[in-house]
Structure 1
Amino acid sequence: MQILFKFKKKQETDKAKTKNQIIELLSNRIIIMGVLLTALFCVLIYRLFVLQIIQGDEHLANFNYKIKKTIEISGARGNIYDCKGKILAYNQLAYTVTLENSEKTSKIAQERTAKNGKNGPKVTENEVKNEVIYKLVKVLEQNGDTINYSLPMTVNSKGKLKFTVSGSALTRFKKDIYGIANIDNLSGDEKKKAEKYLNSTPEEVYEYLRSGKGGPQGTGSMFGISDSYSTEDTLKIMSVRYDVFMNRYSQTTPITVAANISDKSIAAISEHEEEYPGVSIKADSLRKYNDAKYFSSILGYTGVISESELKELNADNGKYEANDVVGKTGIEKTMESTLQGKKGQKDVLVDNLGKIIKTVKTTKASAGNNVYLTIDADLQKYAYNILERRLAGILLAHLTTADTAGSDKRVPIKDVYYALLDNNIINISRLAKKNAKSNEKDVYRIYKKKQESVLNTLRKDLKTGTTVRKYLSEEKQDYVNYIYKMLENDGILVASSIDENDQVYLDWKEEKITFRKFLQYAINNEWINISSFNIKSDYYDADEIYDELINYIVDALKSEEDFDKILYEYMIKSGTLSGRKVCLLLYDQGVLDKKKDKDYNSLYTGKMSAYNFMYKKIKNIEITPAQLALDPCSGSVIITDPDTGEVRAMVSYPSYDNNRLANGIDSEYYASLNTDLSSPMLNRATQSRTAPGSTFKPISSTAVLEEGVATASTYVKCTGIFDKISPAAKCWIYPNAHGSLNVSGAIAVSCNFFFYQMGYNLGAVNGTYNSQRGLTKLKKYASMYGLNRKSGVEITEYEPHISDEDAIRSAIGQGTHSYTPSQISRYVTSLVNHKNLLDLSLLEKTTDAEGNTLTSYEKKTEEKLKISSSTFDLIKKGMIGVVNGKDSSIKYLYKKQGMKVAGKTGTAQENKKRPNHALFISYAPYDNPDITMTVVVPNGYTSANAAEIARDIYKYYFGKASKAEKKATTALLPSGSDGSND
Structure 2
Amino acid sequence: MILVGRLFQLQIVRGEDYVKNFNLKTKREILLKGTRGNIYDRNGKALARNQLAYSVTFADAVEYDTVRERQLSLNGKIYHMISLIKKYGDSIENSLKIEVGRNGEYQFTDRGFSLDRFKADIYGKPEIEDLDEKQKNATAEEIIEYLSSDEKFCVFSENGMVYTKKERKEYGLPKKMEKKALLDLLSVRYSLFLQTYQKYLPITTARNVSQETAAAVMENQSEMEGVNIEEDSIRVYEGGEACASILGYTGTISTDELKEKEGKGYSINSIVGKSGMEQYLEDILQGKDGKQEVFVDNVGRTTLDAGVVKEPQSGKDVYLSIDIELQKKTYNALERKIADLLLENIINAKSFDKTAVNDATEIRIPVYDVYTSLLTNEVIDLSHFQGEEASSLEKAIVQRFQERKAEVLSRIGKELKEPSSRYLEQPDDMKKYQRFITQHIDIFLWDRIDISAGIFANWENGGSSLSEYIQGAIHKEWINLGKLDTDETYLEQKEIYDLVVDYIIEALRSDYDFDKMIYGQMVMSDEITPEQVCMLLYDQGVLDKQDGDFENWQQGVMSTYDLIIQKIQKLELTPADMALDPCSGSAVVVDTKTGKVLACVSYPGYDNNRLANQMDHDYYFKVSNNKSLPLYNRATQQLSAPGSTFKPITVIAGLEEGVIVPATEVFCDGVFDKVSPPLKCWNIMGHQSVTSAASALQNSCNDYLCEISYRLGMMENETFSDELALEKIQKYAKLFDMDKKSGIELPESEPQITDKYAIPSAIGQGTNNFSTVQLGRYTAALANGGTSYQLSLIEKLDDVRKDTKIESEIKLPSQVWDSVHTGMEWYAQNTGIFDGFSRTAAGKSGTAQEVSTRPDHGLFVGYAPVLDPEIAIAVRIVNGYTATPAVECGRTIFEAYFQ
Task: Using the TM superposition, give the Cα deviation of residue 226 of structure 1 relative to its aligned residue in structure 2, in angstroms.
Answer: 10
Q: Is the 8 A contact 2:690 2:696 kept in 1?
A: no
Deviates more, 1:838-847 or 1:581-590: 838-847
Whole-angstrom distance in 1 between the partners of 2:489 and 2:652: 75
Partner of 1:245: 193
Larger Rg: 1
For the aligned residues, what is the CA RMSD?
Answer: 3.6
Within the candidate set 317, 326, 335, 1:388 is matched to 335
Task: Using the TM superposition, give the Cα deviation of residue 528 of structure 1 relative to its aligned residue in structure 2, in angstroms.
Answer: 6.1
Q: Is the 8 A contact 2:239 2:324 kept in 1?
A: no
Partner of 1:678: 628
Q: Count how many residue pairs are aligned between Structure 1 and Structure 2.
A: 876
Whole-angstrom distance in 1 between the partners of 2:638 and 2:423: 35
User: Can you list the C-alpha shifts for 1:636-677, whole angstroms capped at 9, x where unaligned?
Assistant: 121111111111111121111222222232222222222121
Within the candidate set 886, 889, 893, 1:946 is matched to 886
Partner of 2:807: 862
Q: What letter is aligned with 2:868?
A: N
User: Given the alignment of the two structures, is residue 282 of structure 1 paired with residue 233 of structure 2, yes or no?
Assistant: no
**Structure 2 CA distance for partners of 1:494 and 1:740, relative to 1, 3 Å:** closer
User: Can you list the C-alpha shifts for 1:10-40, whole angstroms capped at 9, x where unaligned?
Assistant: xxxxxxxxxxxxxxxxxxxx9xx99x989x9
Partner of 2:394: 440
**Structure 2 CA distance for partners of 1:724 and 1:211, relative to 1, 3 Å:** farther
Task: Using the TM superposition, give the Cα deviation of residue 180 of structure 1 relative to its aligned residue in structure 2, in angstroms.
Answer: 4.5
**Structure 2 CA distance for partners of 1:527 and 1:147, relative to 1, 3 Å:** same
**Structure 2 CA distance for partners of 1:309 and 1:779, relative to 1, 3 Å:** farther
Deviates more, 1:449-458 or 1:915-924: 449-458
Q: What letter is aligned with 2:543?
A: L
Whole-angstrom distance in 2 between the partners of 1:394 and 1:584: 25
Whole-angstrom distance in 2 between the partners of 1:613 and 1:646: 43
Whole-angstrom distance in 2 between the partners of 1:509 and 1:282: 59
User: Given the alignment of the two structures, is residue 896 of structure 1 paired with residue 896 of structure 2, yes or no?
Assistant: no
- TM-score, normalising length: structure 1: 0.82
Q: What letter is aligned with 2:29?
A: T
Q: Is the 8 A contact 1:580 1:603 kept in 2?
A: no
**Structure 2 CA distance for partners of 1:712 and 1:485, relative to 1, 3 Å:** closer
Task: Using the TM superposition, give the Cα deviation of residue 494 of structure 1 relative to its aligned residue in structure 2, in angstroms.
Answer: 5.6
Deviates more, 1:773-782 or 1:874-883: 773-782
Within the candidate set 76, 80, 84, 1:139 is matched to 84
User: Given the alignment of the two structures, is residue 166 of structure 1 paired with residue 111 of structure 2, yes or no?
Assistant: yes
Within the candidate set 736, 740, 746, 2:696 is matched to 746
Partner of 1:906: 846
Q: Is the 8 A contact 1:127 1:226 kept in 2?
A: no
**Structure 2 CA distance for partners of 1:69 and 1:531, relative to 1, 3 Å:** closer
User: Can you list the C-alpha shifts for 1:410-458, whole angstroms capped at 9, x where unaligned?
Assistant: 1110000011122111122322345421221232243234334433433
Whole-angstrom distance in 1 between the partners of 2:241 and 2:766: 35
User: Given the alignment of the two structures, is residue 824 of structure 1 paired with residue 775 of structure 2, yes or no?
Assistant: yes
Q: Is the 8 A contact 1:134 1:237 kept in 2?
A: yes
Deviates more, 1:902-911 or 1:128-137: 128-137
- SS where residue 246 of structure 2 aligns? helix
Within the candidate set 296, 304, 311, 1:350 is matched to 296
User: Can you list the C-alpha shifts for 1:583-630, whole angstroms capped at 9, x where unaligned?
Assistant: 100112221232x23322333344321111111111111111111111
User: Given the alignment of the two structures, is residue 873 of structure 1 paired with residue 827 of structure 2, yes or no?
Assistant: no
User: Can you list the C-alpha shifts for 1:674-727, whole angstroms capped at 9, x where unaligned?
Assistant: 212111111221122221111111112222212222211222222222223322
- SS where residue 378 of structure 2 aligns? coil
**Structure 2 CA distance for partners of 1:928 and 1:535, relative to 1, 3 Å:** closer
Q: What letter is aligned with 2:516?
A: K
Q: Is the 8 A contact 1:645 1:859 kept in 2?
A: yes
Whole-angstrom distance in 1 between the partners of 2:864 and 2:481: 67
Within the candidate set 278, 294, 303, 2:242 is matched to 294
Whole-angstrom distance in 1 between the partners of 2:111 and 2:388: 33
**Structure 2 CA distance for partners of 1:232 and 1:882, relative to 1, 3 Å:** same
Whole-angstrom distance in 2 between the partners of 1:845 and 1:201: 48
Q: Is the 8 A contact 1:80 1:88 kept in 2?
A: yes
Deviates more, 1:831-840 or 1:544-553: 544-553
User: Given the alignment of the two structures, is residue 102 of structure 1 paired with residue 61 of structure 2, yes or no?
Assistant: yes
- SS where residue 68 of structure 1 aligns? strand
Partner of 1:377: 324
Deviates more, 1:200-209 or 1:571-580: 200-209
Deviates more, 1:630-639 or 1:460-469: 460-469
Q: Is the 8 A contact 1:784 1:837 kept in 2?
A: no
Partner of 2:94: 149
Partner of 1:622: 572
Partner of 2:167: none
Q: What letter is aligned with 1:628?
A: M
Within the candidate set 202, 218, 233, 2:140 is matched to 202
Whole-angstrom distance in 2 between the partners of 1:197 and 1:841: 45
Partner of 2:377: 423
Whole-angstrom distance in 1 between the partners of 2:688 and 2:147: 69
Q: Is the 8 A contact 1:92 1:287 kept in 2?
A: yes
Whole-angstrom distance in 1 between the partners of 2:794 and 2:10: 77
Q: What letter is aligned with 2:590?
A: T
Q: What does 1:325-364 align with in structure 2 at a 5 Å threshold?
A: 325-362=271-308, 363-364=310-311
User: Given the alignment of the two structures, is residue 211 of structure 1 paired with residue 149 of structure 2, yes or no?
Assistant: yes
**Structure 2 CA distance for partners of 1:765 and 1:531, relative to 1, 3 Å:** closer
Task: Using the TM superposition, give the Cα deviation of residue 63 of structure 1 relative to its aligned residue in structure 2, in angstroms.
Answer: 9.4
Percent identity of equivalent pairs = 39
Whole-angstrom distance in 2 between the partners of 1:154 and 1:355: 34
**Structure 2 CA distance for partners of 1:609 and 1:221, relative to 1, 3 Å:** farther
Partner of 1:963: none
Whole-angstrom distance in 2 between the partners of 1:865 and 1:822: 19
Task: Using the TM superposition, give the Cα deviation of residue 816 of structure 1 relative to its aligned residue in structure 2, in angstroms.
Answer: 1.5
Partner of 1:91: 50
Within the candidate set 823, 826, 842, 2:793 is matched to 842
Whole-angstrom distance in 2 between the partners of 1:221 and 1:395: 63
Partner of 2:206: 258
Q: Is the 8 A contact 1:919 1:937 kept in 2?
A: yes
Q: Is the 8 A contact 1:420 1:627 kept in 2?
A: yes
User: Given the alignment of the two structures, is residue 656 of structure 1 paired with residue 602 of structure 2, yes or no?
Assistant: no
Task: Using the TM superposition, give the Cα deviation of residue 311 of structure 1 relative to its aligned residue in structure 2, in angstroms.
Answer: 4.9
Task: Using the TM superposition, give the Cα deviation of residue 263 of structure 1 relative to its aligned residue in structure 2, in angstroms.
Answer: 1.4
- SS where residue 450 of structure 1 aligns? helix
User: Can you list the C-alpha shifts for 1:818-852, whole angstroms capped at 9, x where unaligned?
Assistant: 111111101111111114211211111222xxxxx
Q: Is the 8 A contact 1:139 1:265 kept in 2?
A: yes
Deviates more, 1:817-826 or 1:439-448: 439-448
Partner of 2:168: none
Q: What letter is aligned with 2:625?
A: T
Partner of 1:468: 422
Task: Using the TM superposition, give the Cα deviation of residue 182 of structure 1 relative to its aligned residue in structure 2, in angstroms.
Answer: 4.8
**Structure 1 runs not aligned, ≥5 long:** 1-29, 111-122, 848-852, 960-982
Q: Is the 8 A contact 2:85 2:213 kept in 1?
A: yes
Task: Using the TM superposition, give the Cα deviation of residue 877 of structure 1 relative to its aligned residue in structure 2, in angstroms.
Answer: 0.8
Partner of 1:777: 728
Whole-angstrom distance in 1 between the partners of 2:152 and 2:33: 41
Task: Using the TM superposition, give the Cα deviation of residue 294 of structure 1 relative to its aligned residue in structure 2, in angstroms.
Answer: 2.3
Partner of 1:696: 646
Q: Is the 8 A contact 1:697 1:747 kept in 2?
A: yes
Q: What letter is aligned with 2:59?
A: E
Partner of 1:563: 514
Whole-angstrom distance in 1 between the partners of 2:519 and 2:537: 16
Within the candidate set 798, 803, 806, 2:749 is matched to 798
Partner of 1:15: none
Whole-angstrom distance in 1 between the partners of 2:594 and 2:5: 91
**Structure 2 runs not aligned, ≥5 long:** 163-172
Whole-angstrom distance in 1 between the partners of 2:609 and 2:503: 43
User: Given the alignment of the two structures, is residue 481 of structure 1 paired with residue 432 of structure 2, yes or no?
Assistant: no
- TM-score, normalising length: structure 2: 0.89
**Structure 2 CA distance for partners of 1:708 and 1:227, relative to 1, 3 Å:** farther
Q: What letter is aligned with 1:419?
A: S
Task: Using the TM superposition, give the Cα deviation of residue 519 of structure 1 relative to its aligned residue in structure 2, in angstroms.
Answer: 4.2
Whole-angstrom distance in 1 between the partners of 2:452 and 2:288: 62
Whole-angstrom distance in 1 between the partners of 2:714 and 2:132: 56
Partner of 2:36: 77
Whole-angstrom distance in 1 between the partners of 2:527 and 2:223: 55
